[in-house]
Amino acid sequence: MGYSATTGPLPAITCLPDDWWDPAWQAVQSPGVTGLEPVICETPAVPQTPAPLPLPSWGQVLATTVGLWRSRHLSWLRRRLLAVAALGAGLVAIAVGTAGLVLSAAPAAPPVPRPAAIPAPSGRAVLPASLATAPQAARPVWLSVPALGVRTRLVYLGLNKNGTLQVPASTAVAGWFTGSPRPGMVGSAVIAGHVDSRAGLGIFFWLRTLRPGERVYVGRADGTMAVFTVTAVRTYPKDRFPTAAVYGSVPDAELRLITCGGVFDRSLGSYLSNVVVFARLTG
């Protein structure tokens, strides 16, 4: 390759491509130098572009998002929940304290006092115990329990259709079970009465407080009176009531006073037990 015009100094080239080699041009650039050979420039290595990373899956994105949210908000939410719980506990404590103050300020219902004792019946002919089996024993018409302040007339009771003992229609009177012996005759005479009602106390409300040795008086239609002395007071669950011990035959003249007692079951509307007073003829 030749040049037809004068040129200025050219930059020294120390590395030429293979297709640019020309001995004449080399002689001009390097006079007096022989044995020159072309120097082939090595093609610079082209940097390799790294393969693109795979895109994350939706599950990974969701997990990362939830993790970030928890790290930022979970501690805050826990603090809020603790604060709400503490506030709720404080409000409950305030409510309980207020209720306690109201109840303490309200006047307590006075306990029902046991009635004062009344004088024992007197001036009546008393059938001796030795004549208790006499056929002339009249029907009972009244009952008196001086220790309980009880004095009431007696009504007559039979059995319900299911075989249970009838109860008086009124809570203010007691009743004699006509299927039992007449009071003062050999056997267990039975008299029943109510313990209470929605209207108030029944005739036998205090029956459970009788004590052995206290007296019970039963007046009869012929003007005579049988006197009984309490020997025991028992409470029996109604589902385990000792029928034989209460209604069964005995060798002497005895009396049973029966009413309800124990726990009151509101779902059934009745008491779960019976109170029974055992007494023996003593005059």
Query: Quick one: residue 150, left, alpha or beta (phi over 0 = left, psi -120 to 50 = alpha)?
Result: beta
CA dist 171 to 155, 197, 205, 263, Å? 12, 7, 10, 19
For 197, the enclosing helix (H) or strand (E) is: strand 196-197
Give the whole-angstrom CA distance, residue 236 versus residue 277.
Answer: 11
β-bridge pairing 174-177 and 253-265: unpaired
Give the closest residue to 283 by CA, choosing from 184, 190, 181.
184
Six token digits for residue 127: 């059938």
Give the closest residue to 129 by CA, choosing from 117, 137, 121.
137
| Percent helix, percent strand, percent coil in the chain, to nearest 5 | 25, 30, 45
β-bridge pairing 200-201 and 196-197: antiparallel
Give every residue of the chain whose pLDDT is below 50, as ranges: 2-3, 106, 108
pLDDT tens, residue by residue, 46-72? 666 666 767 777 777 777 777 776 776
Sign of CA dihedral 127, 129, 131, 133: positive
CA 15-21-23 angle, 5° bins? 115
Six token digits for residue 210: 């009788």
Asked if 78 contacts 70 with a C-beta cutoff of 8 angstroms, the reply is no
Domain edges within the chain: 12-43, 125-281
Answering whether pTM is above 0.85, one says no
Asked if 166 contacts 178 with a C-beta cutoff of 8 angstroms, the reply is no
β-bridge pairing 253-265 and 187-193: parallel
- The yes or no reply on domain 125-281 and CATH 3.30.465.10 is no
| pLDDT at residue 24, rounded to an integer | 66
